[in-house]
């Protein structure tokens, strides 16, 4: 994923295994699946796999959101009255907040929802369908574990071999993630990762200057996305 996204943190499903939840309303079955996805082809392949698995179902509706900025959004009513399935499913995804993050903007992404409907013989009406498809996705999300995904900026610190171990300990004591140390003939290079925020990077530079009495500095490199516990 690009490091040029506007967001540097968003929420994803913690597991890469599908989540399944069954909702019954007036004898109709709404089987919801959620899957963590990284691309539109992956989402569409998952939707198609459910079409094949439930080839006898009346409707296989879907919605997916992809990207840190949630720029890619697609939904399908799959034969239900327009606006009664795919859009409500999308709204349920867009509105979800991670547990313990009330008050912050909803930011769930990299997710595909598929709702398989078996008609039970009782018509629900447009409003009933909207409520049913919304509830199917919301209830499935209630059973899923969510986790934050953050963009981390990598920093490289060159130090003498004799100082590498001490500086690693100092960094870890300050709460920094030390990803590893590479040793060459002349020096050691410690790689650390910090949340991709300019103010935090400046504080990291100040901290390094303090613990090393100005002897070492950090060179900021690329970024990587990681799930945070």
Q: Is the pLDDT of residue 189 over 90?
A: yes
Q: What are the pLDDT digits (tens) for 171-187?
A: 999 888 899 999 999 99
65 near 94, Cβ under 8 Å? yes
> For the residues 116-123, what does the mean pLDDT come to?
89
214 phi/psi in degrees, rounded to 5 = 80, 10
Size of the chain, expressed as the number of residues it contains: 229
What does the CA dihedral 77, 78, 79, 80 come to, rounded to 10 degrees? -30
Q: Model confidence at 7, in pLDDT bands (50, 70, 90)?
A: confident
pTM of the model: 0.86
Q: What are the pLDDT digits (tens) for 197-213?
A: 999 999 999 999 988 88
Of 183, 84, 168, the residue nearest 124 (C-alpha): 84
Q: Is the pLDDT of residue 30 over 70?
A: yes
Q: What are the pLDDT digits (tens) for 56-113?
A: 999 999 999 999 999 999 999 999 999 999 999 999 999 997 665 555 679 999 999 9
Which has more confidence, 4 or 127? 127
The correct answer on CATH 3.30.70.240 for the domain covering 150-227 is yes
Q: What is the mean pLDDT of the chain?
A: 92
Q: Model confidence at 2, in pLDDT bands (50, 70, 90)?
A: low
Name the strand (E) or helix (H) holding 171.
Answer: helix 161-173
- pLDDT at res. 80: 95
* Every domain of the chain and the residues it spans: 9-144, 150-227
Query: Could you check whether 9-144 and 150-227 share the same CATH topology?
Result: no
Highest CATH level, class, for 9-144: alpha beta
192 near 208, Cβ under 8 Å? no
């Amino acid at each position: 994923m690009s490091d040029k996204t506007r967001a540097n943190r968003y929420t994803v499903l913690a597991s890469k295994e599908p989540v399944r939840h069954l909702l019954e309303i007036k004898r109709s079955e709404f089987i919801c699946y959620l899957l963590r996805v990284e691309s539109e082809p992956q989402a569409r392949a998952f939707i198609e796999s459910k079409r094949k698995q439930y080839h006898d179902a009346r409707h296989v509706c879907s919605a997916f959101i992809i990207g840190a900025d949630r720029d890619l959004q697609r939904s399908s009513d799959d034969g239900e009255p327009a606006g009664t399935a795919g859009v409500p499913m999308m709204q349920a995804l867009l509105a979800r907040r991670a547990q313990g993050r009330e008050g912050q903007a909803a930011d769930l992404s990299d997710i595909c929802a598929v709702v398989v409907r078996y008609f039970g013989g009782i018509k629900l009406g447009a409003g009933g369908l909207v409520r049913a498809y919304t509830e199917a996705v919301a209830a499935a999300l209630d059973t899923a574990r969510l986790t934050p995904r953050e963009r981390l900026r990598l920093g490289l610190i060159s130090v003498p071999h004799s100082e590498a171990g001490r500086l690693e300990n100092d960094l870890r004591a300050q709460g920094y993630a030390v990803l590893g140390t590479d040793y060459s003939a002349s020096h050691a290079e410690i790689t650390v990762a910090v949340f991709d925020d300019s103010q935090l990077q400046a504080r990291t530079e100040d901290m390094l200057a303090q613990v090393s009495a100005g002897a070492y500095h950090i060179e900021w490199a690329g970024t990587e996305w990681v799930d945070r516990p």
